[in-house]
Amino acid sequence: NETLARAGFLGTSPVNPQCAAFVRSLDDIHGVHPFCTRIYRRFLTSPLCVYFKYPSDPYLIAQFSRAFDVYVLILREVDRRIAKSMDRLKGEWRMKNSCPCCGYECEDEPGLMFRRLLTMDGNNSAKRFANAGVSDQRQFESDYFLSDEVVDSFSDALPDRGKKKTGSAAYDDPDPTAGDPESDCTDRWKNANSERTRAMWKAFDESGIFACVCRHGFIVGIANMRRSGELAKYPLAMTQWVTESLGDRLCWGYDIGCAFSGT
């Protein structure tokens, strides 16, 4: 493998590789991969088989996938070492400096009423059924994501006030609508009603993502929503994480903030 790497190739097995992938081809696929994640393996293997008049075989796709995974791991390790040498491994650095407009402050600059404008919301598009296929058990390390343990620590953060009827819908803590809303918008907003869809969420291991962004569209933090809708633990965990990293004088936007403010 060392000899292959010096020649610009990556082997497909750690010992005595019989196949190798060209690093430049892997780099090209890596650039396209975020836009078409499902076809990147066939994108290169099938044309090469046609070009060299070699019968296409599924094992070639598996071999290329292994080489591509190794290439991605190498890139991540290089980025990690660069970040370590520049003292940027802490998540606070990325959160404070990812947006130049929000993070850059001049000396003796007059302070604004709000240092940053942020918004957060949940999205239910990225679902994954609990029993659908085999999931990858490896832990993805990223300073963008809140861990499930941190999010779940806020499950019991609210007092148990039991069920509360508001109009025609029933709500349970720790749903973000629990509390005493000041207006009728909570009763009308469909994200605030979890009673009707409570049984549906149990079928999904991942029901969506909860994201926080700044006013310029840069991601501040993300949390996976698991087996539930948009519960209060997600905005609570996100608010604490961002506040501890960025400090005070933050202005938050949230589509059911009328109920969350009481939480």
Q: Around Cβ 218, how many Cβ atoms within 10 Å?
A: 15
Structure tokens at 186: 């909570």
Within this chain, do residues 138 and 238 fall inside the same structural domain, yes or no? Answer: yes
Q: 76-111 in b/e burial notation, b at 16+ Cβ within 10 A?
A: eeeeeeeeeeeebeebeebbbebbeebeeeeeeeee
- Which pLDDT tens digit goes with each residue over 224-259? 888 777 788 888 889 988 888 888 888 988 876 555
Q: Which residue has the higher pLDDT, 40 or 118?
A: 118
- Which pLDDT tens digit goes with each residue over 70-88? 888 899 899 889 988 888 8
Tell me if 252 sits within 8 A of 119, measured CB to CB.
yes
Within this chain, do residues 28 and 140 fall inside the same structural domain, yes or no? Answer: no
Q: Look at residue 28 and tell me if it is in a domain.
A: yes
Least confident range of 65-69, 131-135, 203-207, 225-229: 131-135
Within this chain, do residues 131 and 171 fall inside the same structural domain, yes or no? Answer: yes
> At residue 71, what are phi and psi to the nearest 5 degrees?
-60, -45
Q: Which of 31, 66, 85 is the last residue of a domain?
A: 85
Residue 182 predicted with pLDDT over 70: no
Residues of the domain holding 67:
2-85
Q: Which of 85, 103, 134 is the last residue of a domain?
A: 85
Q: Look at residue 90 and tell me if it is in a domain.
A: no
Within this chain, do residues 233 and 180 fall inside the same structural domain, yes or no? Answer: yes
Within this chain, do residues 213 and 104 fall inside the same structural domain, yes or no? Answer: yes
Overall domain count for the chain: 2
Q: What is the mean pLDDT of residues 184-204?
A: 59
Q: Which residue has the higher pLDDT, 98 or 184?
A: 98
| First-to-final CA distance of the chain | 57
Q: What is the mean pLDDT of residues 105-121?
A: 85
Position 212 scores a pLDDT of: 92
CA distance 202 to 182: 31
The C-alpha R_g of the chain, in whole angstroms, comes to 24
Average pLDDT, the chain: 75
Q: What is the mean pLDDT of residues 4-33?
A: 80
- Which pLDDT tens digit goes with each residue over 146-167? 888 888 888 776 655 444 444 3
Q: Specify the pairing of strand 116-123 against strand 169-171.
A: unpaired
